[in-house]
Structures are given as C-alpha cells and as structure tokens.
Structure 1
Amino acid sequence: MSLPIVTALYFVCLFATLFLGLPVAFGLGGTAVVFAFFFEPQALFAVPSAFYSTPWSSILVTVPLFLFMGSLIRFSGIADAAYEAVYKLIGHIPGGLAIGTVQVSTIFAAVTGITPPATITMGQIAYPSMMKYGYDRKIAIGSIGAGGALGALIPPSVPFIFYGLLADASIGKLFLAGLMPGLMLAVFYSIYIGVRCKFQPHIGPALPSEIKFSRREKAQAVLGIWPFIVLIFIVLGTIWGGIATPAEAAAFGATGALLINLVNRKMTWDIMKDSLATTMKLTGMGLWILIGANIFLSMFNTLGSQELITAAVMAMPGGVNGIILLMMLIVLVLGTVMDDWAIIMLCTPLFLPIIELLGVDKIWFGVLFMVNIQVAYLTPPFGFVLFWIKSILPPDVSWGDVYGSVGPFVMLQLLGLGLIFFFPEIALWLPRFLEE
C-alpha cells in the first residue's frame, strides 16, 4: 500500500474514533498502535517509552500548579468582588454590565490560565445580574463566552505552556506575546458592546437612575479586587522580571491563592478536596493526551508521513501566507471535535517542521494558534465554550440562544486574528521590548 494512502487512512481512522466518542488520548494512541501492528510492528517498542518519558519534562510542573491556583480562585469570592466593582463603576452606562463581564473575565484569565473557570464563574455571577436588569439574552451570553475564551490567550495560559514545550519555545516570551493580543480582543469586545448598546439601549440598559453609589463605595469596591492584582504580580511579575521561572511562579501563585482563600475565610475541606480533584482530573487528562499524541506522532514519523505532509504543504501555491492560512483553517476545523490541549499536542509537532522550513517566528505563530483556538471555542456546533455556558445557564436558555449569541464576537476574533497576521508586532513588540 502506498504511503499517501496509508497516511490518509491514518487520519481517517483517528477522526472516526473521535466522532465515535472515544477519548482523545485513546483515539490518538489506539490509532497509532493499530497501524504499528499492521505496518511497522517494531514501532510498538516506542509505546512504553512514551509512557515513561513524556511526564518527566520539568515545565509540566507548572500545569497542575496553575490549575490548582485557578481552582482555588473560583471559591475565593474575588470574582464576585470584581463584578461588584464594575457594577458600581460602569453599570450606569448602556451595556455596562456586559462590558464589565468581559473585563472581569480578562482579569480572571490572568490568574487561572485556562478557559473553564472564567466561563463558568461569570456565567453563574453575571448572567443572573444582567437578566435582572433587562439585558438581551444574546448580548449577555455572548459577553460571557467571549470573555471566558480569553483564558487560552491571556497569560499565564496553560495552552501556551503545552505549545512552548512541544515547540521548544520560551514560555516567558509566549506569555508576553499573548498579553497585547488578549487585551486587544477584550477592548474590541467592550467597544462593540458599548457602541451597540448605545444605539440599541433596550438590549443592554443602564442601571436605573435611582441606583447610585458614592465615591467612597466605588473606591471600596475597587480596593476589593486587590487579590487579583497581587496574584497577577506574583505570577507574571516574577516571570517577566526574571525573578522566578514559570514553574516557581506557578508555585508562588498556587500558594497565594491558598492564602487569599484563608484570609477571606473561604477555605474548607470540601473546597480543598474539590480543587485537588479538579486539578488531578485536568492534569491527568492533559498528560494522557500528551502521551497519546507522542505515540501517534512517533508512528506518523516512522511511516514517513511527516516528510510526505511537509513536502506536499511546501509545494502548495500561495507561499508562506497561504501555508499559514491553511494551518489556521485546519485548527479551526479540529476545534469542532477536539479540545484545545488535544489540538495543540497533535498539530504543533506536525506544523513545527514546516514552520521552521519557512523561517516563521515560533512565538508569533503560537499567538496565531491560540487566537484561532479561541475562534474554534466559540464556533458552532461544537465549540467547547458553548457547551460550558449551556451547562450552567437556566433550562429555559436554548441552544439557539447560545449559538445566536456568539456571531459578532467570532467576527471580532477573526478581525483580531487578521490584524496579528498582517501586523506581527502586535504580538512580538512586548517580548522584544523587554528583551532589550
């Protein structure tokens, strides 16, 4: 059987297992084992090696620590305090609560590193508040989904850690590169909400005029978000200041989150057990996917498929830009059936040889990758953020409401992706500036 046919069957088998509902790790590893058995039996010796060698990368220590920090923060009450602050500061303008939802989600992303905590927490806090004051359901859901998706891009992003590990790229530089694009998208969302609600005030009405807050109340509300500021400084400040490695900063952040819970008297044994269980589940899932991806890619290389794919892609018309756009399209399609970790672990090793041949900056490409994953998060019918939102909203919220809420935000994400594509300095300026 010819190599192109074997390669095509390899991917067909993988996607068949995913569509059948098999866990991603088993789909990746199982496909590789089956093909190794029939085509390269000696390649089966790589399977035990993948199990023992994959988890020993030192950078992987950061993953459970950041996840533990994010899990604890969900129970600390500081998300409620942050939302109360924006409620008092900008609730009086049209769309203020939805804009505040995006802003709090942005800050929340900066202390969790993943998407689910911000999406779930803000869905539970912000959605009832916006419904209480007469917001349109779609603008409310859309602001929660778009803000939550920023967790994949705003540092300390766990997806960036996996990408940096596989691409052999600096985690600190990736964190810096993701900051400006993440803030840019948050500004885009806020401007869109503000402008639309200005001209259509019925979809995002301002708070009633009788609800007023003194300057003292506003100042106290702002001071209530001090834990966010402390955690951001502990985690990102120590990394960018050269004081700590990402792993050490993650340990500082997890300790800081624990202390904040204790200070706020939110820590209980149930919360500790829930946080540890969540951390273990997500870490275990990530490691299994990484192991499965390593086995899958080991067999892929043994078959000679990597050279085939690289040669085919390099021969495509459109040059560098055409090839990168094709890669982004592949990521977008995969986002309908796979989560972000699986996409990163599968695609990064496949794309990297091509990226290096093209001479493309790995940091810039990583930012494009993460923004594209955000688009996939919100793209119907299988965007993962959409499922998280639906799971925590009231039963009367239909899938039509959820799907119909994200269209404008997806367009803004695509606008941001295009700007970063044509103006790489949006991502690369800050890492280069702090390098000097």
Structure 2
Amino acid sequence: MSLEIVTLLYFACLFGTLFLGLPVAFALGGTGVVFAAIAEPRALMAIPSAFYSTPWDAVLVTVPLFLFMGSLIRYSGIADAAYDAVYKLIGHIPGGLAIGTVQVCTIFAAITGITPPATITMGQISYPSMMRYKYSRKIAIGSIGAGGALGALIPPSVPFIFYGLLANASIGKLFLAGLLPGIMLATFYGIYIGLRCKFQPELGPPIPAEKKFSRREKAQSLLGIWPFGLLIIIVLGSIWGGITTPAEAAAFGATSALLLNLFNGRLTTQVFKDSLATTLKLTGMGLWILIGANIFLNIFNTLGSQELITNAVLAMPGGTTGILLLMMLIILLLGMVMDDWAIIMLCTPLFLPIIELLGVDKIWFGVLFIVNIQIAYLTPPFGFVLFWIKSILPKDVGWGDVYGSVGPFVILQIIGLGLIFIFPSIATWLPNLFE
C-alpha cells in the first residue's frame, strides 16, 4: 500500500473516531497504536516513552498553577467589584454595560490564562444586569462570549504555553506577542458595541439618568479593583521584567490568588476543593491529550507521512502566503469540531517543520494560530465558549440566541487576524522591544 493511501487512512481513522465520540486523547493515541501495529510494529516501542517523558517537561508546571489561580479568581469577588466599577463609570453611555463586560473580561484574561473563568463569571454577573436594563440578548451574550474568548490570547495564556512547549519557542515572548492583538480585539469589540448602540439605542440603552454617581463613588469603585492590578504586576510584570521564569510567576500568582481569597473572606473549604478539582480535571485532560498527540505524531513520523505532507504543502502554488492561508483555514475548520488544546497539540508538530523551512517567525505564527483558535471558540457547532455561555444562561435562552449573538464578533476576529497577517509587527513589536 502506498504511503499516500496510508496517510489518508491515518487521518480518516482519527477523524472517524472523533466523530464517533471517542475522547480526543484516545482517538489520537489509539489511531497511532493501531497503525503502528499494522504497518510498523517496531514503532510501538516509542509509546511507553510518551507516557513517561511527556508530563515531565518543566514548562508544564505553569499549567496547573495558572489554572489554579484562574479557578480561585472566580470566587474572589474581584469580578463583582470590577463590574461595579464599569457600571458606575460608563453605564450611562449607550452599550456601556456591554463595553464594560468586554473590558472586565480583558482584565480577567490577564490574570487567568484560560477562557472559562471570565466567560462563566461574567455571564453570571453581567447578563442579569444587562437584561434588567433592557439590553438586547444578542449584544449581551455576544459581549460575554467575545470578551471571554480573549482568555486564550491575552497573557498568561495557557494555549500559548502548550504552543511554546511544542514549538520550542520562548513563553515570555509569546506572552508579549499576544498582548497587543488582545487589546486590539477588545478595542474593536468596544467600538462596535458603542457605535451600534448609539445608532440603535434599543439594543443597549444607558442606565436611567437618576442613577448618577458622584466622583467620589466612581473613585471608590476604582479602588475596589486594585487586586487586578496587583496580580497582573506579579504575574506578567515579573516575567517581562526578567525577575522570574513563567513557572515561578505562576506560583506567585497562584499564591497571591489564594491569599486574596483569604483576605476577602472567600476562602472556604468548598471553594478550595472546587478550585483544586477544576485544576486537576483540566490539567489531566491537557496531559492526556498531549500524550495521545505525541503517540500519534511519533507514529506519523515513523511511517514517513510527515515528510510526505511537508513536501506536498511546499509544492503548493501561492508560495508562503498561500501555505499560511491554508494552515489558517485548516485550524479554523478543526476548531469547529475539536477543542483548542487538541488542535494545538495536533497541528503544531505537523506545521512546525513547514514553518521552519519557509523561514516564518514562530512567535508571529503562534499569535496567528491562537487568534484563529479564538475564532473557533465562537464558531458552531463546537465552539467551547458557546457551550459555557449556554450552561449559565436562563433556560429561556435558546441555542438560536447564542449562535445569533456571536456573528459580528467573529467577523471582527477575522478582521483582526487579517491585520496581524498583513502587519506582523502588531504581534512582534513588543517581543522585539524587550529583546
């Protein structure tokens, strides 16, 4: 049987098992084991090493620490204080509460590194408030989803950690590279909401005129969000300032989040148990997917399929631009049926040899990759953020409301991706500045 047919069957087996509902880790690893047993039995010797060597990479220490920090932040009360501040500061302008939701999600992303905390927490806080002031469901749900998805891009981003590990790229540089694109997208969301609600005030009416707040009340509300600034300085400032490694910064951040909950009287036994359980579940899921992906790719390389794919892609018309656009399309399509960690662990090792042969900056490509995954978070049928939002919204909110709310924000994400593609300095300027 020719290598081309074997490679096609290899991917057909993977996606067939995924569509049948097999967990991603088992679909990846199982496909590799089956094809190794049939085509290259000696490759089975590499499987035990995947189990024992994969989890011991030092970079992976940051993952449970950032996840633990993000889980604790959900219960700390910071989000309530931040939303109260934006309510008092910009609630009086059209769409102000939705713009504020995006802003809080942006800051939330800067201290959690993942999307669930901001999405779930802000959905529980901001959605009832926006409904109380007669906001359109589309604007309310869309702002929560788009803001929550920023957790994948704005540092400390856990997807960047996995990408950096697989691409052998600097985690600190990736964190710097994701900052400006994340702020750019958050700004796009705010401008869109503000302009649309200005011309269609019924979509996001301002809070009643009688609910005015004094300057003192506004200043006090801003003082209430000092923990946000402290955590950002501890985590990101220490990394970018060269004071700590990402792992050390993650440890400081997790400890600070723990002390913050204790200081605010929120550190109950149940909160501690729930945070540990969430961290263990997500970390375990990520490690199993990483092990499965390593098995899949080791067998893939042993069969010679990686060289076949690399040569086929490099022979495509369109040059570097055409190849990169094809990669972006593949990531976007995979995002509609697979979770983000699985996509990173599957595609990064497949694409990286091609990227290196083309001489493409791995940092810039990493930002394109993660922005594309962020788009996938909001695209049906398998957009993770859509599922999280639906899980915390009232039962009268249907899937049609959720899917219909994210269209404009997906368009803005695609525009942002295009700008980063055309102007790489949006992603590379800060990393180059701190070299």
- Tell me the distance in 1 between the aligned counterparts of 2:112 and 2:328: 26
How far apart are the structure 2 equivalents of 1:216 and 1:21?
A: 55
The letter for the 2-side match of 1:364 is W
How far is the alpha carbon of 1:94 from its aligned partner? Answer: 0.1
Map residues 216-231 of structure 1 onto 2, 5 A cutoff. 216-231=216-231
| Residues in 1 aligned to 2:150 and 2:116: alpha-carbon distance in whole angstroms | 10
- Per the TM alignment, residue 380 of structure 1 is displaced from its structure 2 partner at its CA by 1.6
Task: Establish whether residue 310 from structure 1 lines up as the match of residue 310 from structure 2.
Answer: yes
Tell me by how many angstroms 1:341 deviates. Answer: 0.6
Counterpart position of 1:209? 209
Matches within 5 A, 1:95-244: 95-244=95-244
Q: d(CA) in 2 for partners of 1:110 and 1:77? A: 16
| Aligned 1:340-355 pairs, distance under 5 A | 340-355=340-355
**1:43-62 paired onto structure 2 within 5 Å:** 43-62=43-62
Name which of structure 1's ranges 382-391 and 132-141 shifts more when overlaid on structure 2.
Answer: 382-391
Q: 2:87 aligned with 1:87, yes or no?
A: yes
Q: Which residue of 2 aligns with 1:362?
A: 362
Deviation per residue, 1:162-218 (Å, 9 max, x gap)? 000000000000000000000000000000000000000000000001101111110
Matched letter for residue 378 of structure 1 = L
Query: Which residue number corresponds to residue 276 of structure 2?
Result: 276
Aligned to 1:297: 297
In structure 2, distance between residues paired with 1:264 and 1:8:
56
Extract structure 1 runs of 4+ deviating beyond 6 A: none
Q: CA deviation at 1:381?
A: 1.9
Give yes or no for the alignment of 1:326 onto 2:323.
Answer: no
**Which amino acid in the other structure matches residue 273 of structure 2?**
K
| Distance of 2:134 and 2:109 partners within structure 1 | 27
**Percent sequence identity over matched residues?**
83
Matched residue SS, 2:434: helix
User: In 1, Cα distance between the equivalents of 2:152 and 2:401?
Assistant: 24
2:259 aligned residue = 259
Structure 1 residues 122-181: Cα deviation after superposition (integer angstroms, max 9, x where no partner):
110010000000000000000000000000000000000000000000000000000000
The RMSD of aligned alpha carbons is: 0.5
Q: Is the 8 A contact 2:337 2:381 kept in 1?
A: no
Distance 1:43 1:336 in 2: 32
User: What's the offset of the Cα at 1:433?
Assistant: 1.1
Separation in 2, partners of 1:406, 1:303? 42
In the other structure, the counterpart of 2:406 is 406
Contact 2:99 2:143 in 1 (8 A): yes
Distance in 2 (alpha carbons) for counterparts of 1:381 and 1:73 = 29
Give the letter aligned to residue 412 of structure 2. Answer: L
- Secondary structure, counterpart of 1:270 in structure 2: helix
Cα distance in structure 1, aligned partners of 2:38 and 2:267: 54
Q: CA deviation at 1:401?
A: 0.4
Task: Give, in whole Å, the separation in 2 of the partners of 1:402 and 1:14.
Answer: 30
- Please say if residues 17 and 27 of structure 2, whose CA atoms lie closer than 8 Å, have aligned partners that are also in contact: yes
Counterparts of 1:73 and 1:380 in 2: how far apart (Å)? 28
- Aligned residue identity for 2:290: L
Q: Which structure 2 segments of 5+ residues have no match?
A: none
Query: What one-letter code is carried by the residue in structure 2 that aligns with 1:33?
Result: V
Q: SS of the residue aligned with 1:252?
A: helix
Cα deviations across residues 396-434 of structure 1 (Å, max 9, x unaligned)?
001110010001000000000000000000000011112
Task: State the Cα distance separating 1:283 from its structure 2 match.
Answer: 0.4
Q: Which residues of structure 1 form unaligned runs of 5+?
A: none
Give the whole-Å Cα distance in 1 for the aligned partners of 2:309 and 2:106.
Answer: 38
Partners of 2:163 and 2:185 lie apart in 1 by: 21
Q: Distance in 1 between matches of 2:384 and 2:241?
A: 34
CA distance in 2, matches of 1:283, 1:246: 17
Could you tell me how far apart the structure 1 residues matched to 2:351 and 2:37 are? 26
Alpha-carbon displacement from aligned partner over 1:311-369 (angstroms, at most 9, x marks no partner): 00000000000000000000001101111111000000000000000000000000000
The one-letter code of the counterpart of 1:319 is G
Alpha-carbon separation, structure 2, partners of 1:70 and 1:381: 26
CA distance in 2, matches of 1:237, 1:385: 28
SS at 2:134 equivalent: coil
2-structure distance, mates of 1:18, 1:217: 53
What is the distance in 1 between the residues matched to 2:226 and 2:40?
Answer: 58
Tell me how far 1:109 sits from its aligned partner. 0.3
